[in-house]
Structure 1
Amino acid sequence: MPVSTSSSSSLTALNTLGLKAVARHILYLTEPTQIKQWRADPLYSQTSWLVLGGGSNLVMSEYIDKTVLQVGLQGKKLLREDGGAWYVAAAGGEAWHPFVQWTLAQGWGGLENLSLIPGTVGAAPVQNIGAYGIEIKDVFEQLTAIHLQTGEQRVFTLADCQFAYRDSVFKQAEAGQWVIVEVVFRLAKNHQTKTQYGDIERELLSLNMGNTPTAVAQAVINVRQRKLPDPAQIGNAGSYFKNPIVSPAIHQAVMVAYPNAVAYALEDGQYKFAAGWLIEQAGWKGKRFGPVGMYEKQALVLVNHGEATAADVLALEKAVQADVHAMFGIILEAEPVKW
């Protein structure tokens, strides 16, 4: 993909929600050294920069008066191994799902529950992506990032990243400061697959393939394909809201009023409610709101029925939040980053 130097560049095809959006400039990063070169160019250095991975967790404004750095860095390899694990490195621009499939093909388990999640390797730690009992933090060794202003290259450890539920230092104190160029994963040799989620257990039984990492990956893929829309068919950003974590008091109040509510106890004594269940009970599953709506097969997914803008998405976000709060007293938090 060529580097764009036009006065405005379309981002519509570069975000999975398919929102109409343009940026002042788009630069396509294929070598880390390009950052220093572009920073020396007045055309780009006089604007602030945003880093774009797969565009799967973003709500883009119609015009972004900034330089967008699209990460296209490629490459993956086994760095080393010891008695306990394989240490696997991947460049920030590698597509996430194909990378997961590659690790499984090598016989390295650990990432199977994260199959079919859209986006790139470099974006995965930013969001601390997770699914079916596994998060990036559970398999993370370190990452290398370059500071967009100073050009400093730094290695971030697990502690440095400050991972939390769908969160990291890259969404908080260091937001917008770094471009992640490489991530190293620690894939344990004594890895035991996690299959405790009902959907996965049932799918494994139907597949009759055992519970190997490859089998679990296929079960996850099958479940996700049934529940989640393909962005190529209908614009979406995957799960739009975080599963809310609440105090025991709020959990008890909701369960008294709604005994069938879907919630899980956490180790710290708090509870996590299934946001999709809350949204569905509030009447939003399959409901349209102008050009956007909540998906008919999974109420947690916000979809673009065509020609939507960020304003449409944010209006629906607020409407869903208001109805869920009015019904349950729970505040939903959106997952996507707002540009």
Structure 2
Amino acid sequence: MSHAFLAPEFLADYSLRTHNTFGFDVRARHAMKIDSVEAAAALCTDKRIANMAQLVLGGGSNIVLTRDFDGVALIVGIAGKRVIAEDDDAWLVEAGAGESWHGFVAWTLAHGMPGLENLALIPGTVGAAPIQNIGAYGLEMGERFERLSAVELATGARVEFDRDACAFGYRDSFFKRAGRGRFMITSVVFRLPKAWTPRAGYADIARVLDAATQCDAQAIFNAVIAVRRAKLPDWTVLGNAGSFFKNPVVSAQAFDALRAREPGVVSYPQADGQVKLAAGWLIDQCGWKGRGIGGAAVHDRQALVLVNRGGATGAQVLELAEAIKRDVLARFDVELEMEPVAL
């Protein structure tokens, strides 16, 4: 994953517009593009950035930038994809943190290694995937995760994290909490089982597959892409960060009380007895679909997605999010939680 080390260029007054999927027009006082593990490890001794605030950025698909960043933005561009081991049960596949997530998923399928197809077309980079523990259509990244390598920014130490150390939760991990800002992920290793079984239970995916001649991993990959394109805006056309709120999970008792008041509530029973609610349905019922504040708006086809209709600021997106949260809490007594990190 590494090559001969060259000190990264030190860029001044750097636009982050293309480094966040909302397309907010904010700038960093400085930026450095990190394309090797050696470059990441050397940051702690780089006098150019001594005592400077640091912001690690991948694809910027899970961030709301509310203002210019008075520090150095570290743009992760570490590339590379390879099979590092194989046994009778699985392939171990490593990807550099700067690789496109969707491109990596497509690459695994093209090389006959299924298992990540349900996570097709999720924006962002491989290195960001463990931070968010991305998931979609019945699969979470953590289920396929083996380990990751990272650099501790303050010391330059190279550290390896296994699944337990990552402390994955629902759209959550150690790196979103205690580890936030401390580490730069440099590569991730996935275990892709050879005993492949389809995850095709979601109604939208099953509907597309019904029209297909076969249900293999490629068919599921294609179905996921078709469904996501039909339901979600393309961030390169209409800035967004995908699903903006987590689907809230409530106790069975709280759900029974809610269903008594709202018989049509969309829900998904969980293995532990709790119930997951569809945040998009809650928001839609509060009349927010298509509405906005300034350039920030709720998407007119999917209420779970907030968009930049043009010229929106991060502050406007957060103002809109808070208004939505207040309305959902008032009507349903359910608190919504943002997926993206606000800075």
TM-score between both structures, scaled by the size of structure 1: 0.97
Pick from 232, 245, 251: which aligns with 1:228?
Answer: 232
Confirm or deny: 8 A CA contact 2:11 2:32 kept in the other structure.
no
Change (3 A) 1:4 1:288: farther
Q: CA deviation at 1:64?
A: 1.1
Aligned partner of 1:78 among 62, 83, 101 = 83
**How big is the shift at 1:113?**
0.2
**Structure 1 residues 128-167: aligned runs within 5 Å:** 128-167=133-172
Q: Which amino acid aligns with 1:218?
A: N
Pair 1:337 & 2:314 matched: no
The corresponding residue for 1:284 is 288
8 A Cα contact 1:3 1:26, kept in partner: no
Q: State the Cα distance separating 1:4 from its structure 2 match.
A: 5.6
* Identical counterparts, % of pairs: 47
Paired positions, count: 337
TM-superposed CA distance for 1:62, in Å, is 1.9
Q: Partner amino acid for 2:299?
A: Y
Pairing of 1:197-216 with structure 2 (within 5 A): 197-206=202-211, 208-216=212-220
In 1, the alpha carbon distance for the partners of 2:9 and 2:322 equals 35
Secondary structure at the residue paired with 1:256?
A: helix
Q: Does 1:256 align with 2:260?
A: yes
Matched residue SS, 1:146: strand
Q: Does 1:64 align with 2:69?
A: yes
Q: Aligned to 1:33, what secondary structure does the other structure show?
A: helix
| d(CA) in 1 for partners of 2:226, 2:107 | 18
The 8 Å contact of residues 4 and 25 in structure 1, kept in 2 or not, is answered as no
Q: 1:39 offset after TM fit, Å?
A: 2.9
1:114 to 113, 119, 130: 119
Question: 1:271 offset after TM fit, Å?
Answer: 0.8
Partner Cα separation in structure 2 for residue 226 and residue 35 of structure 1:
39
Q: CA deviation at 1:309?
A: 1.0
Q: Which residue of 2 aligns with 1:321?
A: 325
Distance between the aligned counterparts of 2:294 and 2:220, measured in 1? 38
Aligned-partner residue type, residue 32 of structure 2: L
CA distance in structure 2 between the aligned counterparts of 1:63 and 1:265, rounded to whole angstroms: 42
1:193 equivalenced with 2:202 (yes/no):
no
Give CA deviations for 1:87-112 in whole Å, capped at 9, x if unaligned: 10000000000100010111111100
More moved, 31-40 vs 221-230: 31-40
Alignment partner, residue 92 of structure 1: 97
Task: Name the CA distance, whole Å, in 2 between partners of 1:13 and 1:3.
Answer: 19
